[in-house]
Structure 1
Amino acid sequence: MNLARRTMNHPALAAVYERAWRPALFYLASGRSTASDRRDAVRALRLSGDKKVLDIACGPGNFTRHLSESLSEGGFAVGVDYSEPMLARAVADNAGPRVGYLRGDARALPFADGAFDAVCCFGALYLIPDPLAATREMVRVLAPGGRIAITTSHRADNPFGHASRIVGGLSGLRVFDHETFPNLFRELGLVEIDQNVHRLLQYVSATRPA
């Protein structure tokens, strides 16, 4: 397990992740606040009503609970993470009437095809071993007409971008180019592909055709 993944699995990080660690790093990487990210997540996933939502690599569950609050009775959000300390924090801090948590591997999700109306992964694909396999799994469990949204690393096609790839690799972080996820979404048959870049992060969303 590389340095980045060991850090994410440490109990001390789980305790401060959403209070300090994530807001600070995401602001430095994107120039955006956590509140903006949450609002855009609900918009990109088109959440409402009794939809079923899957949040991959949910960490301590702050985003998962926020997503669940956009749903009505009958809807629910499931957060999946591999880290036991993160899940323990999610259960302690972010329980709710329409949210639940499960330990699992993003590369082999324990759900049936088309089980969710919306699937997301925010700020984690660069840590997951074989992130493209994990993304294919996300699309597999997405229902026809459903929405997928991801936030992950981005490198520009310039010297700074190539340097970020090298630095990221030394710590175990994957840094993705501009085309990887739009191309993968197209390969998997998704439509309405939208991509926005904010500094070092890219936000990509798409629809699975009905």
Structure 2
Amino acid sequence: MTSIAQRMMGNPVFSLVYEKAWRPLFTRGFSLGGSGTADYDHALRAYLARPGERHVLDVACGPGNYSDDAAGGLTGDGRYIGIDFSAAMLARAGHDHHAERVTFVRGDAHRLPFADGSFDTVLCLAALYLIPDPLPVLDEMARVCAPGGEVIVFTSARTSVAALPGGPLAAGLVGLRLFDLDELVDRLRSLGLEHLEQTVTGVGQYVHARAPKASS
């Protein structure tokens, strides 16, 4: 059965308001009204915008929230590719973000249509909790991450606040998965990623990991 959240993401009307209205409000909600998530998000955008010749993949990119940041500092043959299953979100992304180094494609995050080790940075931000059977998506992200590259995820976290009565029920009703605090870290570690960093803010978590460098 398609969840409420999934139906919203496929709605062309919702795609119009998602980036500028819904997402900022929703993101702040992860910090329970505080600024922790927003502050980390600003720092992440600055990090993604650093100069360099990188290939960036944004999994479940929605309407291209991070495309301008991730593509802004790219040099040489650097590219940003956003992939999403929602045609409505991709149509909005293509309308609002059309920089030279930016490409949007439709596809399934469980079967990314890219070769192993294709990307220096692989993102999935504020989306993994909406994807059915999400852990195999991490497998695919690790697969397409180049040696020495990075995987960055922002998603939900089952903290003590999220465990309050009604929290899991409310999340389930709209189709949001709450991840245990060790769930993503353990999965990424099992895939061979290293230098794992996890930052928890409210009921959200940022996870950053790196693929091992190629042996000389």
Q: Structure 2-normalised TM-score?
A: 0.90
Counterpart of 1:27, as a letter, is: R
Counterpart of 2:122, as a letter, is: V
Answer yes or no: is the 8 Å Cα contact 1:41–1:149 preserved in 2: no
Q: How many percent of aligned residue pairs carry the same amino acid?
A: 43
| 1:81 partnered with 2:100 | no
Post-superposition Cα deviations, 1:88-141, rounded to whole Å, max 9, x if no partner, equal: 011110110111100000000000000101100000000011110111000000
Aligned to 1:40: 44
**Cα distance, 1:114–1:55 mapped onto 2, change above 3 Å:** same
Aligned to 1:186: 189
Query: 1: CA distance between counterparts of 2:14 and 2:62?
Result: 10
Post-superposition Cα deviations, 1:73-95, rounded to whole Å, max 9, x if no partner, equal: 31010000111111001111011
Counterpart of 1:186, as a letter, is: R
Equivalences for 1:116-135 in 2 at 5 Å?
116-135=119-138
Runs of 5+ consecutive residues of structure 1 not aligned to the other structure? none
**Cα distance, 1:96–1:34 mapped onto 2, change above 3 Å:** farther
Aligned to 1:16: 17
Aligned to 1:143: 146
Counterpart of 2:70, as a letter, is: L
| 1:153 partnered with 2:156 | yes
Using the TM superposition, name which of 168-177 and 150-159 deviates more: 150-159
Aligned to 2:4: 3
- Residue 65 of structure 1: CA displacement? 2.4
- Residue 163 of structure 1: CA displacement? 3.9
Aligned to 1:63: 66
Runs of 5+ consecutive residues of structure 2 not aligned to the other structure? none
Query: 1: CA distance between counterparts of 2:165 and 2:125?
Result: 23
Query: 2: CA distance between counterparts of 1:18 and 1:81?
Result: 15
Q: Structure 1-normalised TM-score?
A: 0.93
Query: 1: CA distance between counterparts of 2:158 and 2:75?
Result: 38
| Paired residue secondary structure (1:150) | strand
- Residue 62 of structure 1: CA displacement? 2.3
What is the RMSD of the two structures over their aligned residues, measured on CA atoms? Answer: 1.9
